[in-house]
Amino acid sequence: MKRLWIYLQDYKKECVLAPLFKMLEASFELFVPLVVAAIIDTGIANGDTGYILKMCMILILLALIGLICSVTAQYFSAKAAIGFGTGLRRALFKHLMGLSFTEIDMVGTSTMMTRMTSDVNQAQNGVNMVLRLFLRSPFVVFGSMVMAFTIDVKAAFIFVIAIILLSIVVFGIMLMNIPMLKSVQQKLDGVLGITRENLAGVRVIRAFCKEEEEIEAFKVKNEALTTAQKKAGKVSALMNPLTYVIINIAIVTLIWVGAIQVDNGILTQGQVVALYNYMSQILVELIKLASLMITINKSVACSNRIVSVFEIKPSMEEGVEQSAEGASRKSEVPVVAFKNVSLTYKGAGEESLTGIDFTVWQGQTVGIIGGTGSGKTSLVHMIPRFYDATAGEVLIDGINVKAYQIKALRDKIGIVMQKAVLFKGDIGSNLRWGKKDATEEEILEAVRIAQGEDVVNQKGGLKGSIHQGGKNLSGGQRQRMSIARALVKKPAILILDDSTSALDFATDAKLRGAIKTLDYKPTVFIVSQRASSIQYADLIIVLDDGKMVGKGTHEELLENCQVYSEIYHSQFRKEEN
Ligand SMILES: Nc1ncnc2c1ncn2[C@@H]1O[C@H](COP(=O)(O)OP(=O)(O)OP(=O)(O)O)[C@@H](O)[C@H]1O
């Protein structure tokens, strides 16, 4: 929790001024009952209209000054809280961006989104409330009691007893309520989680006609939230009746004691009214204080959840090596080499890849084929260090990938993921992800190689807009734009992870042919389930259940790799039909 205070560091002035102005406002409020008492005792008692008017003006002035103080305090507290929230969100986002895939898998996207949004908002709200009320409410309670003592000690003792009883009720209810509110928060997280999952997967839900089941699952979570809210609501609903009973008994006692004191000439009528007003102020502030405690509690819980994300340290350490490109690259060194590499995902009991060993030379095309779940994606993800080998070594240009600066390493690689993702903006801005200063010619050349000219023309050129996630493009169009994006950076290593699955065979073949013509001769990895996509590769790696069961050219594998020949013959029979 303490580690979040640093995000308030730039707002020290605001953190002092906000409570200060709130206390000033409270001080002026504390004078109001005294002025009212003076109006009753002097103005009304003597029928002095001039005095009453003068005092009313003072009341208006006090209200105005109070208002100015309150607005000023609000301004400073909001400024500090918003600044805190902005800084925290920025730092959290930066931290999340620095995590490796292993940690991102561990936390989960939906949890990260909750931390970034509602948890940060709750923490920000807590800062705002603390700055405004944490000092003000106790100050008013204490100040009202002191004022009561200055008026009449006997009557003030009623205040002491009332404050003790009110505090027991208000804080007792609050303490009972806190665990219930925690449960409400958990149930709310559940509702948010299922909502997010359903909205993200709405197409799949409809395709499988799962609406009824999902509505039912949502109903269960929603009802759990309602039950938790009702339980918490019932307890907090006790607050008002109980506090009002206590305060009314205290007021009756106060008026009774006050009347006796008036009869004895010790107190004036105005002073009794002032005591009554102080009592009301105390009640209001204690209730505010209780709700502040609940807000603080929620904010601390949310802050702790944020801190727990900050505590996740990226498991990947960067090296210092820069890339060796162009002239400095030694041609006798393989571009990529896997040396007896194994991979076990964190939390997974068994290895997803075992003993992978192969060497790739500059300009070669490597095909990776195998059944679903055989480890193809896992293998290529180790080249840009999305995941690190748990045994063995992955070498690029003869250097272990772990020794490179991550940026230098990834700058050498253009990867097109299985799921093509584009970002809101226009086609040009998406394709420039690969190279910020790419010229229009460079981009159009990449588009041409990726067989995406028709897509760009259809969308009205490079300025054609792309909706969030590339939703306004078809699967195949998104894939071709993603390939063009990777090509724009002219990578030394190009990885196409099943990224032509939505293309027809002819376009797929044209694309592979066009890549062959690239003048900078990248080393290309093609992951595919289609034998036709990889059969002309210089090297084909066949995976089966995480193991490399074949390595060689198409002809060699047809002869000596049963898995490959089964894949090939099953598909070619199908394709020929
Ligand atoms: N992030 C992950 N965490 C844990 N296990 C994973 C993770 N990613 C993949 N796996 C597991 O590793 C194995 C290989 O998965 P991988 O995605 O590499 O296979 P694939 O051959 O690319 O499959 P497909 O053709 O279906 O995409 C599978 O058993 C999978 O469940």
Q: Of 444, 470, 489, which closes a domain? A: 489
Residues 427 and 393 occupy one common structural domain: no
Which atom of ligand 1 is nearest to 347's Cα? 4
408 falls within a domain:
yes
> Ligand 1 center to residue 408 CA distance, Å?
26
Is this complex's ipTM strictly greater than 0.85?
yes
510 falls within a domain:
no
Out of 104, 356, 376, mutate this one to test ligand 1's pocket (max ligand atoms within 8 Å of CB): namely 376
Residues 240 and 383 occupy one common structural domain: no
Q: Of 310, 345, 373, which closes a domain? A: 310
pLDDT value, residue 575: 47
Residues 291 and 338 occupy one common structural domain: no
- The protein residue whose alpha carbon is closest to atom 5 in ligand 1 is 345
Q: Of 275, 292, 310, which closes a domain? A: 310
263 falls within a domain:
yes
pLDDT value, residue 577: 41
Residues 329 and 251 occupy one common structural domain: no
- The protein residue whose alpha carbon is closest to atom 8 in ligand 1 is 378
Residues 431 and 566 occupy one common structural domain: no
Residues 215 and 324 occupy one common structural domain: no
- The protein residue whose alpha carbon is closest to atom 16 in ligand 1 is 375
Q: What is the CATH number of the domain that holds 495?
A: 3.40.50.300
- What is the tally of structural domains in the chain? 3
Cβ of 374 below 6 Å from ligand 1: yes
Q: What is the CATH number of the domain that holds 27?
A: 1.20.1560.10
- The protein residue whose alpha carbon is closest to atom 7 in ligand 1 is 345
- Beta strand spans in 220-322 (E): none
> Ligand 1 center to residue 559 CA distance, Å?
28
Residues 86 and 216 occupy one common structural domain: yes
187: domain range? 2-310
Cβ of 378 below 6 Å from ligand 1: yes
Sign of the four-CA dihedral 452, 432, 96, 189: negative
pLDDT value, residue 284: 84
Cβ of 426 below 6 Å from ligand 1: no
> Ligand 1 center to residue 353 CA distance, Å?
9
Which atom of ligand 1 is nearest to 102's Cα? 1
Residues 304 and 331 occupy one common structural domain: no
Residue 285 vs residues 144, 189, 354, 424, 567: alpha-carbon distances, Å: 10, 31, 66, 48, 76
**pLDDT tens for the 577 residues of the chain, in order:** 567 888 998 999 999 999 999 999 999 999 999 999 999 999 998 989 999 999 999 999 999 999 999 999 999 999 999 999 999 999 999 999 888 888 888 888 777 888 888 899 999 999 999 998 888 888 998 999 898 888 888 888 888 898 899 889 888 888 888 888 888 878 887 888 888 888 877 877 887 788 888 999 999 999 999 999 999 888 878 877 888 888 889 889 988 998 998 999 898 999 999 998 998 888 788 878 877 877 887 888 889 889 999 999 887 787 777 765 544 556 678 999 999 999 999 878 789 999 999 999 999 999 999 888 899 999 999 999 999 999 999 999 999 999 998 888 998 899 998 888 888 888 888 999 878 888 888 999 999 999 988 888 988 888 888 888 788 888 889 999 999 999 998 999 999 998 877 777 888 888 888 988 888 889 999 998 888 888 889 999 999 999 999 999 999 999 999 999 988 888 776 444 4
- The protein residue whose alpha carbon is closest to atom 14 in ligand 1 is 375
Terminal alpha carbon distance of the chain? 65
Cβ of 372 below 6 Å from ligand 1: yes
Residue with token string 């936390």: 107
Residues 367 and 447 occupy one common structural domain: no
Both tokens of residue 424?
């809101």
Residues 6 or more apart in contact with residue 392 via CB below 8 angstroms: 338, 339, 340, 341, 342, 355, 356, 357
178 falls within a domain:
yes
Cβ of 545 below 6 Å from ligand 1: no
Both tokens of residue 73?
């305090």
513 falls within a domain:
no
- Tell me, rounded to whole angstroms, the distance of Cα 471 from its chain centroid: 22
Residues 304 and 342 occupy one common structural domain: no
> Ligand 1 center to residue 93 CA distance, Å?
27
58 falls within a domain:
yes
Whether the CB-CB separation of 443 and 488 falls below 8 Å is answered with yes
Residues 305 and 338 occupy one common structural domain: no
Residues 295 and 158 occupy one common structural domain: yes
Residues 6 or more apart in contact with residue 258 via CB below 8 angstroms: 152, 155, 267, 271, 272, 275
Cβ of 528 below 6 Å from ligand 1: no
> Ligand 1 center to residue 53 CA distance, Å?
82
Cβ of 271 below 6 Å from ligand 1: no
> Ligand 1 center to residue 378 CA distance, Å?
6
432 falls within a domain:
yes
Q: What is the DSSP letter of 437?
A: T
